[in-house]
Amino acid sequence: NQIFHSNLIRSLSQNNEVTVFSSRKDRKEEHPSSSKKTGNITWQYLATKKSGLKNIKAQRKEVSSFTKYNDVCFVDTTSFRCLLNARRYCKIKKIPLIGIVTDNPKNITNQKRIVSKIIFSLAKKCNAFVCLTDSLNKLFNKKKKKPYTILKGINKGRVSGSKPVDFPYFFYAGTLLKKYGVYDLIEAFKVIKSKNVRLLISGHHKEEGFEEYIKDYPNVVFLGNLDNNEILNYENFSIANINPRPFMEDLDEYSVPSKVIEYSSKNSIVISGVSTPLREEFRASIVWFDNKHSLASRIYDVYKTGRITRSAMIKDMNAICEKKFSINAVSKKMDRFLTTIFK
């Protein structure tokens, strides 16, 4: 979600001035407002008060002072506080409010039912929507009566660098919780018998005993929690980048694996659990699996695939990424969408 918003900001800033309002999570101490400008983006860090009510009122007033005629406001619909404040000042300033819909509130971990109901109620006041999937648009934009665009993901491109290790490897970086498939991935990698080929894993939220668990798998290496540029560099030199998250029918229509979008610009094959929204886009240029058993066979198939076939798949995948998900492609798509708001 955070990566999607960050990349959307970059896309919008290609041809527009963008002000990003952000509030600090830590309210133990009061902080004055501050700002930093980078290119067309002004990062505005709002002042914080210790009192929750005073904080909301002060931030609403500060945000309103930046809003000009002909501006448009984008708001994250997963936050009812953001929705509440954005709706109020957009009404005062008479500017359009566009909801960015990246998840079904009912699917958010530890989200209370009453909060989900508030979000749906507040989102009704949005004038338009940017949605991750068509199903999310149907959920928030009943009968598609309001302007909308479907944006399944944004890829910010490759980073330059040199190969980080001197042996061939498969790569995964992400959440290390069992339910997201990392343990299935480690088990599936046993199909690779060569000791020279390794599975490199980087990530966060690892469960207790994870590092002890992988000791039984000598060709699996845990790299710790790498920084973003290191991760992108590892992705660009692997045999394949893997999204081990299994297919979940109840989540498939409302979510898109952002890792697959991230991987799609790299010079490596992508192996991923089935995602209906992304399989419609990438088709056979990505290697899809249905369960942990087919994951093992897909890893083996990729390992045995010849260089020419591999290169052709990567070329097709990169071309689709550039055409539909690159910063430039999304920038043009959003500019066209904004003209529908202001016409």
Supply 108's token pair: 């958010």
Q: Which residues are within 8 A (CB) of 332 and not within 5 positions of it... i.e. 6 or more apart?
A: none
pLDDT of the residue at 143:
79
Q: What is the pLDDT of residues 210-229, one digit of tens each?
A: 999 999 999 999 999 999 99
Measured CA angle at 277 (ends 181, 235), to 5 deg: 50
Structure tokens at 21: 């309002």
User: Model's pTM, two decimal places?
Assistant: 0.91
Q: Residues 89-100: pLDDT tens digits?
A: 788 888 999 999
Q: Count of alpha carbons within 13 Å of 69, Cβ hemisphere only?
A: 0
Give 202 or 51, the one with higher predicted confidence: 202
Q: What is the reported pLDDT for 71?
A: 86
Are the C-beta atoms of 258 and 242 separated by less than 8 Å?
no
Q: Per-residue confidence at 176, pLDDT binned at 50, 70, 90?
A: very high
pLDDT of 258 reads 93
Higher per-residue pLDDT: 88 or 124: 124
Q: What pLDDT was estimated at residue 51?
A: 66
pLDDT: is 63 or 126 the higher one? 126
Mean pLDDT lowest among 58-67, 95-104, 327-336: 58-67
> Do the Cβ atoms of 151 and 325 come closer than 8 Å?
no
User: What percent of the chain clears pLDDT 90, i.e. is strictly above it?
Assistant: 69
